[in-house]
């Protein structure tokens, strides 16, 4: 089945049905208790659960594109992926113990818990998919147009006009003068922005740079200092500085250039 969302064709992947107990309600799982937390890392704000388990069908390995979660036919969440099966079966559908704690993938926990609660209320949850290599731009455009309720940071942005999520698919060659480490993509992103402020979640920053941020970026505010580190040059050279830090959650950048 194909449906149109903002003029784009999306294929129905499946109805999301969690593992159920004998009463027909989602089984609750608490994977956080299986984590050997020797460093006493605190749970993040979505780490308490409860969580459910579910899977999407085979045949979506390596599928690149944009997915949408529909609840009773209404758009609730928009995301992008490099591998649809991995994103859903190993990400949202089966929460790993480590992801319940600060520095873990809090979005996985949040979306899983929303699915748990939503299905428990008797709602129909469907996953649809649009295969494309232009996934960042399409994801951003859909979020801006539809303001989906489950895209937490984006919903807040639409209300306050403070956050831009124009994430670029930065696969082109590096230009002269850009920092040659993995953070050069963050510099490119900030150079492209036409806003005075950019509030980016950790997950969004990791999408931009194409890799996981180091643990120190989650644990220490000093990692985000505007001077003293080579990676700080990526935003300072682009004419930006860090103005607000919420460890493990988001970083706010503001422009220092009056010409922006």
Q: Given this structure, which CATH class describes domain 2-131? A: alpha beta
> What value, to the nearest 5°, has the Cα angle with vertex 22 and ends 18 and 25?
40
Give the per-residue pLDDT at 257: 65
Residues whose CB falls within 8 Å of the CB of residue 178, separated by 6 or more in sequence, listed in order: 184, 187, 188
pTM above 0.75, yes or no: no
DSSP symbols for 67-84: EEEEETTEEEEEEEES-H
Contact at 8 Å (CB) between 123 and 131?
A: no
Q: What is the DSSP letter of 249?
A: T
Task: Specify the residue for token string 């999301």.
Answer: 16
pLDDT digits (tens, 9 = 90+) for 8-27: 999 999 999 999 999 999 99
Q: Is the dihedral of CA 227, 230, 235, 237 positive or negative?
A: positive
| CA–CA separation, 116 and 118 (whole Å) | 6
Give the per-residue pLDDT at 260: 45
Give the per-residue pLDDT at 243: 93
> What value, to the nearest 5°, has the Cα angle with vertex 145 and ends 154 and 185?
55
| CA–CA separation, 110 and 235 (whole Å) | 29
Give the per-residue pLDDT at 200: 93
Give the per-residue pLDDT at 51: 95
pLDDT digits (tens, 9 = 90+) for 189-223: 998 888 899 999 999 999 999 888 888 888 888 88
3 state DSSP class of 90: helix
End-to-end CA distance of the chain: 45
Pick out the chain residues at pLDDT < 50: 154-180, 258-260
Nearest CA among 136, 160, 134, 135 for reference residue 147: 160
Secondary structure element (H or E) that encloses residue 162, with its range? none
Which residue intervals of the chain bear CATH 3.40.1440?
A: 2-131
């Amino acid at each position: 089945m194909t449906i149109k969302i903002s003029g784009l064709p999306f294929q129905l992947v499946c109805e999301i049905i969690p593992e159920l107990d004998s009463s027909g309600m989602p089984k609750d799982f608490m994977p956080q208790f299986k984590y050997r937390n020797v460093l006493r890392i605190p749970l993040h704000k979505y780490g308490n659960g409860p969580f459910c388990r579910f899977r999407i069908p085979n045949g979506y390995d390596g599928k690149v594109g944009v997915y949408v979660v529909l609840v009773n036919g209404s758009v609730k969440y928009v995301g992008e992926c490099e591998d649809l099966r991995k994103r859903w079966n190993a990400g949202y559908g089966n929460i790993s113990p480590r992801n319940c704690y600060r520095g873990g993938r809090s979005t996985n926990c949040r979306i899983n818990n929303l699915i748990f609660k939503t299905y428990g209320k008797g709602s129909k949850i469907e996953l649809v998919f649009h295969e494309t290599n232009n996934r960042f731009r399409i994801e951003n455009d859909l979020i801006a147009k539809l303001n989906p309720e489950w895209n937490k940071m984006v919903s807040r942005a639409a209300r306050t006009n403070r956050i831009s999520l124009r994430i670029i698919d930065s696969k082109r060659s590096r230009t002269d003068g850009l920092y040659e480490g993995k953070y050069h993509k963050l510099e490119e992103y900030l150079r492209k922005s036409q806003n005075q402020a950019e509030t980016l979640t950790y997950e969004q920053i990791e999408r931009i740079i194409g890799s996981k941020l180091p643990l120190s970026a989650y644990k220490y505010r000093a990692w985000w200092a505007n001077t003293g580190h080579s990676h700080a040059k990526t935003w300072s050279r682009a004419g930006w500085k860090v103005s607000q830090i919420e460890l493990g959650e988001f970083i706010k950048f503001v422009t220092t250039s009056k010409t922006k």
